[in-house]
Amino acid sequence: MTQTPYFNGHNFSGLSLEMMGCFKNNGVLVLENFFAPTMADALMARMDKLVSNISLDEHKTVFSTLNRKQEQEDYFLSSGRDIRFFFEDDAFDENGNLNQPINQSLNKAGHAMHDKDDLFSQFSRHENIKKLANDLGINNPILLQSMYIFKPPRIGGEVICHQDSTYLWSEPQSCLGLWFALEDATIENGCLWGIKGNYENQMPRKRLKRKTDNPNTTELIELDPTPFKEDEKIALPVNKGSLIIFSGLFPHLSGPNLSERSRHAYTLHLIDGACHYPKNNWLRPNANDPFRGF
Ligand code: FE2
């Protein structure tokens, strides 16, 4: 069994048998030097431009400290086929003004950069990504969602241990997470951590779904109360240009960013188009805007 999930992804031409074995046994695989640092710079510059167009007034309403829960849920549920911005907790003061500059107040953008922005689409649809999805058994990969994680210095919050399949459900489970480091991710600035294991044919502990009686609201259903073995978690620090590939069943988390440096990352999630995608998932396609493949 491969103990370290780190491999050199430079000049990638498909996953080796060793890489595939590592993914199977650990649920995670790190490909260092998978993409050029200049590409990371280009993606960050594009996001900067998108951020410069944000209408702050709209967000003040949604994210104000008045904590309008339903407004926030509506904003989240309608973000699936759009590029929306989500702020860190406490980004706004009691008067609705930002406590720090906007580029240091954002938690994430989501959830369709891969379809709504040409540069993110081009990056997300690179043939190497299709190749590795195929190598991991996804014959008809669908690009389901993307997120841009800002994790700003000092206020970037922690993300508790979870499985992405909880939010990106298919039957059978097929979610594959791709985590692209746009900047160096270290223990200090809140890199990814995870619990290695063979997660084939397992079920997520929880599922987020729309409520049957009120589909504009979601509920988190517990399917298995067994806690994650968080004492076995390992840190996954990576350099800019690395790709972390993980199963939708791989339990992972990240710490707060207590450093003076940001930790930008871009994530993309694929599912297998051959699997059933339930209508009560939070993330829905639109009739005129379906999920697409490569
Ligand atoms: Fe996650």
Q: Give pLDDT tens digits for 140-164.
A: 999 999 999 999 898 888 899 999 9
Distance from C-alpha of 29 to C-alpha of 22, rounded to nearest angstrom: 7
Instruction: Give mean pLDDT, residues 104-125.
Output: 96
Average pLDDT of the residues in 225-239: 97
pLDDT of residue 229: 97
Q: Which residues surround ligand 1, an ion (CB under 5 A)?
A: 164
**Chain mean pLDDT for the chain:** 93
Rounded Cα distance between 173 and 177, Å, is 12
**Residue 261 CA to ligand 1 centre (angstroms):** 21
- Please tell me the chain's helix, strand, coil percentages from 3-state DSSP, rounded to the nearest 5: 25, 25, 50
Ligand 1 mean position to 95 CA, how many Å?
32
Average pLDDT over residues 228-249: 98
**Per-residue pLDDT at 61:** 65
Short-list 249, 222, 218, CA closest to 26: 249
Q: Tell me which of 70-79, 160-169, 218-227 is least confident.
A: 70-79
Residue 129 Cα distances to 34, 124, 132, 142, 230, angstroms:
10, 7, 5, 11, 30
Is the pLDDT score of 64 beyond 80?
Answer: no
**Looking at the predicted structure, is the pLDDT value of residue 1 above 50?**
no
**Ligand 1 centroid, distance to 42 Cα (angstroms):** 24
Which pLDDT value is given to residue 72?
Answer: 82
Does the pLDDT of residue 279 top 50, yes or no? Answer: yes
In percent, the amount of the chain with pLDDT more than 70 equals 96
Task: Give distance in angstroms: CA of 207 to centre of ligand 1.
Answer: 13
pTM of the full predicted structure? 0.96
CA–CA distance from 46 to each of 98, 101, 115, 205, 260 (Å)?
22, 18, 14, 36, 22
CA–centroid distance, residue 232 to ligand 1 (Å): 18
The CA radius of gyration of the chain, in Å to the nearest whole number, is: 18
What value does the mean pLDDT take over residues 167-176? 98
- Provide the pLDDT for residue 94: 80
